[in-house]
Structure 1
């Protein structure tokens, strides 16, 4: 079992380019697993964790409803945004500047073979990180992601999640609003959930900007503990 995870910070990168890169890494792991099975080998499989920030983009999961995008093609152009239908779970979400997007591409057979546990661990990583900023974040029953003030009229989502898994290999992941322009969420029904707000860490803390480097450091700390992983940083 290889618990070493290669960390790559892609910086600001186009969504489609990042998606293609994820698919490349994902395929490499799956191909190794197929080779192992066919040839009765025990070659180790790699694990990756990508950090990235995307230009304005809306993505719709495979079970999503296109009507949750409230913009037409011309309005998207006016907003400087792009749109993609993609192969993760979940409905529609927004990615953009000021957001930390994380894509763990893991062979779960190196850790545990339980997708439910995997999602709960990703949520816990976010919850524990926000706790360090004195915010009480929670899960919302029946709704993925991480929320504040669950069960009240002021419930608001601070982190969206959507993953894909095949042969126990994961891709896609989470999007944590750190210094996000929340106005872009007004152009969608986020995750297909009506009547609930979206927030950002800087808004909750009442500051202009939060250090994304500091947040990433905290996320990785909790990821390492939860997954009992070893992080190896790869310079891009």
Structure 2
């Protein structure tokens, strides 16, 4: 059975503001105020986030450089290590309760990856999984980071927030400020690099939305 969803575009928004929106929506689900399934999309200014498995050791740039170049650094409660967000990157934050997907967190993460893999396939890019690391890869380079947080309702059902970051037309030099996802021996890539021409964020949101609806069985 198809699942109704709100797909909400937040546009260009500071990380803190987007996080606040996510947390309020997740709290409404956790407290069973409603059952609205919501997916937010956003583009952030330069931001480094450090997940629960990460540390400042994987932030390579010093504080003065980050300040001079307008970077924000935040410790966050998602899984994973250190991740960069910035202009030209499509960030997707699904705030969902997982009953329609068997309350299965591992399957949920695989669905996130599958949605990206299908969108990439539309333009002939082969996205793959690496069982050692979450996310989507093109060859040995990561094109999409995945980092979810789940909490339980009193019923035992999981509620998710945080999500994925797809490098569309991202300035890849910004990743030199960190050890991406704590993986020192892997590269990062973008759709612009893989396609050999500038990729459009709005176009890729349309593609990704289509694949999300397909994979998750959302109502069109």
TM-score for the superposition, normalised by structure 2: 0.94
- The reply to whether residue 18 of structure 1 matches residue 3 of structure 2 is no
1:24-39 paired onto structure 2 within 5 Å: 24-32=24-32
Which of 111, 114, 122 aligns to 2:112? It is 122
2:184 is aligned with 1:194: yes
The gaps in structure 1 that reach 5 residues or longer are: 34-43, 150-154, 232-236
- The match for 2:199 is 210
Q: How far did 1:110 drift?
A: 3.2
Q: Cα distance, 1:112 vs. partner? A: 2.2
Q: Tell me, in whole angstroms, the C-alpha distance in 1 between the residues paired with 2:212 and 2:7.
A: 12
Are 2:2 and 2:219, in contact at CA under 8 Å, matched by a contact in 1? no
- Give 2:142's match in structure 1, choosing from 157, 162, 175: 157
> Partner residue of 2:155?
none
Distance in 1 between residues matched to 2:207 and 2:133, nearest whole Å: 24
For residue 210 of structure 2, the aligned residue among 211, 221, 229 is 221
> Would the aligned equivalents of 1:3 and 1:111 in 2 still touch at CA under 8 Å?
no
**Residue of structure 2 aligned with 1:113, choices 103, 128, 136:** 103
Q: Does 1:84 align with 2:69?
A: no
Of residues 133, 136, 140, the one that matches 1:146 is 136
How far apart in 1 are the matches of 2:92 and 2:36? 17
1:111-149, CA deviations, whole angstroms, 9 ceiling, x for partnerless residues? 321000000010000001001111111001211100011
Q: CA deviation at 1:2?
A: 8.2
Cα deviations by residue, 1:10-61 (Å, 9 ceiling, x for unpaired): 000000010011000000111117xxxxxxxxxx511100000000000000
Matched, 1:72 2:57: no
**Counterpart for residue 173 of structure 1:** 163
Between the aligned partners of 1:120 and 1:76, the Cα distance in structure 2 is: 33
Q: Which of 45, 64, 68 is equivalent to 2:35?
A: 45
Query: Post-superposition, which runs of at least 4 consecutive aligned residues in structure 1 deviate over 6 A?
Result: none
Match of 2:60, SS state, is coil
Contact 1:146 1:159 in 2 (8 A): yes
Alignment-derived partner of residue 40 in structure 1 = none
Q: Are the equivalent residues in 2 in contact too, given 1:2–1:46 (CA < 8 A)?
A: no
Say what the alpha-carbon RMSD is for the aligned residues.
1.3
What SS does the aligned partner of 1:116 have? helix
Gaps of 5+ in 2: 153-157
Secondary structure of the corresponding residue to residue 100 of structure 1: strand
